[in-house]
């Protein structure tokens, strides 16, 4: 392994051990030594690395939320319950890494400061409803394409969901109500 990547490797292993401990499992001393022979010396560096990653996430959330608020008059997002999503989820680490909750907080206060309208949409069925005919079809999580059997509309699942979120969000801001169809 390259010496320049050693700290990243140690960070990965440290996070791995912490995740074991959070699950109530513990590695034996032998396993820890096998995984982390020089971890004890790297603790101050680890704190700096965690702080740097945290600052990078926060900076990214600030910049992206500012771009969205500057560009759009109406902003619509799903009102996701992040705390429930990370409980018993195989995607918990990815959800937390994405800083979705922090991004939503930044977007909310920046939209308010800029007098933009922010619509929060109930996330139920947004990925299963067709944005063209409003027909609902059950899909598995691994299915990434939306193909409506009723009207024949085809697009990516994420694009279709974004159209649903926009329509419902604008409806919630006072335009034509379509929410009753869901």
Is 105 within the bounds of a domain?
Answer: yes
> What b/e sequence results for 11-39 when a residue is b if at least 16 CB atoms lie within 10 Å of its CB, and e otherwise?
bebbeebeeeeeeeeeeeeeeeeebbeeb
pLDDT at 181 over 80: no
Is 161 within the bounds of a domain?
Answer: yes
pLDDT at 53: 83
Q: End-to-end CA distance of the chain, in Å?
A: 54
Contact in structure between 157 and 127 (CB atoms under 8 Å): yes
Provide the phi-psi class of 17: left if phi over 0, else alpha when psi is between -120 and 50, else beta. Answer: alpha
pLDDT at 1: 39
pLDDT at 30 over 60: no
pLDDT band at 179 (very low <50, low <70, confident <90, very high): very low
Please give the average per-residue pLDDT across 87-115, as a whole number. Answer: 84
How far apart (Å, rounded) are the C-alpha atoms in residues 24 and 155?
43
pLDDT at 136 over 80: yes
Residue pointed to by tokens 């050693």: 6
Is 22 within the bounds of a domain?
Answer: no
Higher pLDDT, 102 or 1: 102
CA angle 95, 100, 106 (to 5 degrees): 165
Is 137 within the bounds of a domain?
Answer: yes
pLDDT at 124 over 60: yes
Is 32 within the bounds of a domain?
Answer: no
Is 31 within the bounds of a domain?
Answer: no
Please give the average per-residue pLDDT across 53-63, as a whole number. Answer: 89
Secondary structure of residue 112 in the 3-state scheme:
helix
pLDDT at 178: 47
Number of domains in the chain: 1
Sign of CA dihedral 162, 166, 167, 169: positive
Please give the average per-residue pLDDT across 140-154, as a whole number. Answer: 89
Secondary structure of residue 102 in the 3-state scheme:
helix
pLDDT band at 70 (very low <50, low <70, confident <90, very high): very high
Cα distances from 29 to residues 13, 16, 38, in angstroms, run: 14, 15, 13
Cα distances from 20 to residues 9, 16, 108, in angstroms, run: 17, 6, 35
Is 82 within the bounds of a domain?
Answer: yes
Q: What is the mean pLDDT of the chain?
A: 77
> What tokens were used for 97?
């890494």
pLDDT at 90: 74
Is 118 within the bounds of a domain?
Answer: yes
Domain hosting 128: range is 3-12+42-181
């Amino acid at each position: 392994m390259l010496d320049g990547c050693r700290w990243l490797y140690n960070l990965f292993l440290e996070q791995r051990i912490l995740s074991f401990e959070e699950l109530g499992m513990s590695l034996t001393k032998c396993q820890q030594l096998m995984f982390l022979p020089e971890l004890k010396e790297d603790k101050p560096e680890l704190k700096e690395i965690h702080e740097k990653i945290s600052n990078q996430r926060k900076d990214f959330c600030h910049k992206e939320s500012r771009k969205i608020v500057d560009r759009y008059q109406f902003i619509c997002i799903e009102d996701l319950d992040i705390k429930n999503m990370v409980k018993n989820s195989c995607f918990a680490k990815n959800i937390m890494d994405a800083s979705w909750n922090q991004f939503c907080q930044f977007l909310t206060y920046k939209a308010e400061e800029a007098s933009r309208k922010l619509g929060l949409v109930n996330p139920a069925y947004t990925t299963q409803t067709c944005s063209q005919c409003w027909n609902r079809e059950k899909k598995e999580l691994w299915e990434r394409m939306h193909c409506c059997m009723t009207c024949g509309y085809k697009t990516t699942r994420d694009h279709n969901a974004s159209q649903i979120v926009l329509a419902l969000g604008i409806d919630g801001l006072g335009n034509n109500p379509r929410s009753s169809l869901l």
